[in-house]
């Protein structure tokens, strides 16, 4: 789009995939509407544009050059994420979700990325979460490092155009039936200890016998 010129009868747009577009080297669009939607372009390529005003006295000089690179939009967030602590396996969480709706102009989904944390609101601090890559299905079983803690999850879709927005956050608390007396810094019956729970901070596990 551009600012209208007084007494202009029409506009001409010149474009190219190379910079320094001019009237002589650019492809010309006559009687261009303002704004102009340029169709038939290639995603990922850069296009350069100038515009001129045409009036009774002829065609004016070219405008300042601008450029744009159309991109394939990323999909929306995965839907209906669930996290279920497995009753059959210690420290195990079954995750499942639905793929985002994919309109015709959206890039194909190549896989999914799961983020896990012992702190809520993962999306606000992705760098502190544990990232799980490699899933191409809409389900995953996650083996967590420590049972008895609440784990929070979100999932994103991956495409050639980038990473989608995250799903809604869910949480669950897997069991740790292997716990017993003593352990870690707490030592002894009824104690506890510090463990590496896959986060930037240490986690405490109560080792009181169940």
Question: What string of pLDDT tens digits covers the 210 residues of the chain?
Answer: 999 999 999 999 999 999 999 999 999 999 999 999 999 998 889 999 999 999 999 999 999 999 999 887 888 899 999 999 987 768 899 999 999 987 766 778 999 999 999 999 999 999 999 999 989 999 999 999 998 999 999 999 998 888 999 999 999 999 876 443 333 333 333 444 455 555 555 555 554 444
Of 178, 190, 171, nearest to 89 by C-alpha is: 178
Residue located via tokens 């079954």? 94
Domains 10-68 and 79-176 belong to one CATH topology: yes
Q: What is the pLDDT of residue 105?
A: 65
Token pair of 181 as six digits: 């007396």
- The answer for residues whose C-beta is within 8 angstroms of residue 205's C-beta and 6 or more apart is 146, 147, 148, 149, 176, 179, 183, 184, 192, 193, 195
Q: What is the pLDDT of residue 173?
A: 94
Q: What is the pLDDT of residue 31?
A: 94
CA distances 53 to 13, 47, 49, 81, Å, are 9, 20, 14, 54
What is the C-alpha end-to-end distance of the chain, expressed in Å? Answer: 70
* pTM of the predicted protein model: 0.60
CATH 2.60.40.10 fits 10-68, yes or no: yes
Q: What is the pLDDT of residue 177?
A: 66
Rounded distance between C-alpha atoms, residue 189 and residue 210, angstroms: 11
Q: Do 179 and 148 touch, CB atoms closer than 8 A?
A: yes
Q: 127 by DSSP, 3-state: which? A: helix
Rounded distance between C-alpha atoms, residue 137 and residue 154, angstroms: 15
Q: What is the pLDDT of residue 52?
A: 98
Q: Are strands 58-59 and 109-117 parallel, antiparallel or unpaired?
A: unpaired
Token pair of 197 as six digits: 């729970």
Over the stretch 125-174, which tens digit does the pLDDT of each residue have? 999 999 999 899 999 999 999 989 999 999 999 988 889 999 999 999 99
Q: What is the pLDDT of residue 72?
A: 77
Q: What is the pLDDT of residue 176?
A: 75
DSSP state of 125: G
Rounded distance between C-alpha atoms, residue 187 and residue 189, angstroms: 7
Rounded distance between C-alpha atoms, residue 114 and residue 95, angstroms: 9
Domain ranges of the chain: 10-68, 79-176, 179-210
At the top level of CATH, the class of 79-176 is mainly beta
Q: What is the pLDDT of residue 198?
A: 57
Q: What is the pLDDT of residue 203?
A: 56
């Amino acid at each position: 789009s551009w600012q209208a010129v007084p007494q202009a009868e029409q506009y001409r747009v010149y474009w190219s995939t190379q910079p320094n577009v001019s009237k002589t080297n650019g492809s010309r669009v006559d009687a261009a509407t303002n704004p102009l939607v340029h169709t038939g372009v290639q995603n990922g390529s850069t296009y350069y544009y100038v515009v001129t005003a045409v009036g009774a006295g002829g065609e004016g000089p070219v405008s300042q050059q601008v450029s744009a690179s159309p991109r394939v939009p990323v999909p929306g967030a995965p839907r209906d994420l669930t996290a279920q602590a497995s009753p059959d396996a210690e420290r195990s969480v079954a995750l499942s979700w639905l793929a985002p709706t994919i309109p015709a102009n959206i890039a194909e989904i190549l896989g999914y990325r799961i983020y896990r944390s012992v702190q809520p609101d993962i999306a606000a601090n992705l760098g502190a979460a544990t990232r799980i890559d490699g899933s191409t299905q809409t389900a995953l079983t996650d083996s967590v490092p420590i049972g008895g803690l609440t784990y929070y999850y979100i999932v994103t879709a991956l495409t050639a155009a980038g990473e989608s927005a995250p799903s809604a956050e869910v949480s669950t608390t897997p069991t740790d039936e292997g716990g017993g007396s003593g352990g870690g810094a707490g030592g002894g019956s009824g104690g506890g200890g510090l463990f590496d729970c896959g986060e930037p901070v240490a986690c405490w596990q109560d080792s009181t016998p169940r």
